[in-house]
Amino acid sequence: MKGAIIGDIIGSTFKNIDLGDTDFQLFKPDSAYTDDTILTIATADSILNKKDYEQTLKEWVRAFPRAGYRPKFLEWALSDQSTPYISKGEGAARRISPIGFAAQSVEEALSEAEKSTRVTHNIPERIKAAKAVATTIYMCKHAGTKKEIKTFIGQAFDYDFSLKVEDWKQRKITPDSETSPVEPAFAAFMEASDYEEAIRLAIVIGGPSNTIASIAGALAEAYFKHIPKSITKRALSRITPEMQEILSVFEDKYLKFSEQEA
């Protein structure tokens, strides 16, 4: 789960910037968490405390209302209206990683991902994306190979894994394009040999770099089972004690990897 948060923080200062290559400074003075982190923490809180996804999401948004949400989403989250919020964005897929880590089966990852996503993104394509991310994290955590993931996720969700990071970089993903950041995030993860490389590849794609890096970071944490301490320390010093508490309790419960795995 912290893999997603670190990716969000590092990616926050590179949105819509063409870096050219992966040789860049990971952290800047203004590197900070965004709405991706708040919604990821909210999902973890729901799981840990067996709370309703919508209720917990609104609680965290209300506690941190200036994290960069879309205006209409913020209006919905701050209101008491009972009408559902329907978004065409990728907010569900980028907050879904705690479900993948906590699930006890592929079936649970799929069902909980759909349940969480329907709160704000009750659209088939957005539900598919969240399910794909949650299922991949579950498979990574339980020693699934990249080849197995490509086969299963590709067939189950009709994702094209033939496109590489450079292909996605050339496509120039923008806020107005219809390209989902989920498949580019998968490309970064698939090409990486460790967590840091996954983040660098995700960010060099350009476009919504914090979202791509957040998703790729979650996948990489589950697969490689190791994030350099120096990166973790610099990133997590930028979140609040309330967030750190949820993160710590969640990872103690669901991400206890053995030394051999790490």
Tokens of 250: 């969640």
Distances (CA, A) of 156 to 64, 150, 159, 160, 192: 36, 10, 8, 11, 23
Question: What is the mean predicted confidence (pLDDT) over 25-33?
Answer: 96
Spatial neighbors of 50 by CB under 8 A, at least 6 apart, are none
Q: What percent of the chain has pLDDT over 70?
A: 94
Question: What is the mean predicted confidence (pLDDT) over 98-114?
Answer: 96
Domain ranges in the chain are 2-254
Tokens of 38: 């708040």
pLDDT for position 116: 93
Question: What is the mean predicted confidence (pLDDT) over 5-20?
Answer: 92
**pLDDT, tens digit (0-9, with 9 covering 90-100), for 38-75:** 999 999 999 999 999 999 999 999 999 999 998 988 99
pLDDT for position 258: 37
pLDDT-wise least confident of 40-44, 53-57, 154-158, 254-258: 254-258
3-state SS string over 29-97? CCCCCCHHHHHHHHHHHHHHHCCCHHHHHHHHHHHCCCCCCCHHHHHHHHCCCCCCCCCCCCHHHHHCH
Half-sphere exposure of 179 (CA within 13 A, CB side): 22
Spatial neighbors of 167 by CB under 8 A, at least 6 apart, are 187
CB 140 within 8 A of CB 103: no
pLDDT for position 231: 96
Helical (H) or strand (E) element with 135: helix 124-141
In this structure, how many other beta carbons lie within 10 angstroms of the beta carbon of residue 113? 28
Give the CA diameter of the chain. 50
Question: What is the mean predicted confidence (pLDDT) over 195-223?
Answer: 95
Question: What is the mean predicted confidence (pLDDT) over 203-216?
Answer: 93
Confidence of residue 176 (pLDDT cuts 50, 70, 90): low
**pTM to 2 decimal places:** 0.93
pLDDT for position 81: 73
Indicate whether 197 pLDDT > 90: yes
Question: What is the mean predicted confidence (pLDDT) over 236-243?
Answer: 96
To which CATH superfamily is domain 2-254 assigned?
Answer: ADP-ribosylation/Crystallin J1 (1.10.4080.10)
pLDDT-wise least confident of 15-24, 29-38, 168-177, 240-249: 168-177
Indicate whether 224 pLDDT > 60: yes
Tokens of 198: 């996954």
Q: Which residue in the block uniquely carries the two structure tokens 């957005």?
A: 126
**How far is Cα 11 from Cα 34, in angstroms, rounded to an integer?**
10
Distances (CA, A) of 14 to 171, 203, 210: 17, 7, 7
Provide the 8-state DSSP code for 177.
S
What is the chain's mean pLDDT, rounded? Answer: 90
Q: Which amino acid is at 246?
A: I
pLDDT for position 184: 93
Spatial neighbors of 118 by CB under 8 A, at least 6 apart, are 127
Tokens of 155: 């067939």
Question: What is the mean predicted confidence (pLDDT) over 244-249?
Answer: 96
- Angle in degrees, CA 145, 37, 179, rounded to 5: 65
Question: What is the mean predicted confidence (pLDDT) over 173-178?
Answer: 62
Indicate whether 262 pLDDT > 70: no
**pLDDT, tens digit (0-9, with 9 covering 90-100), for 131-152:** 999 999 999 999 889 999 999 9
Question: What is the mean predicted confidence (pLDDT) over 217-225?
Answer: 96
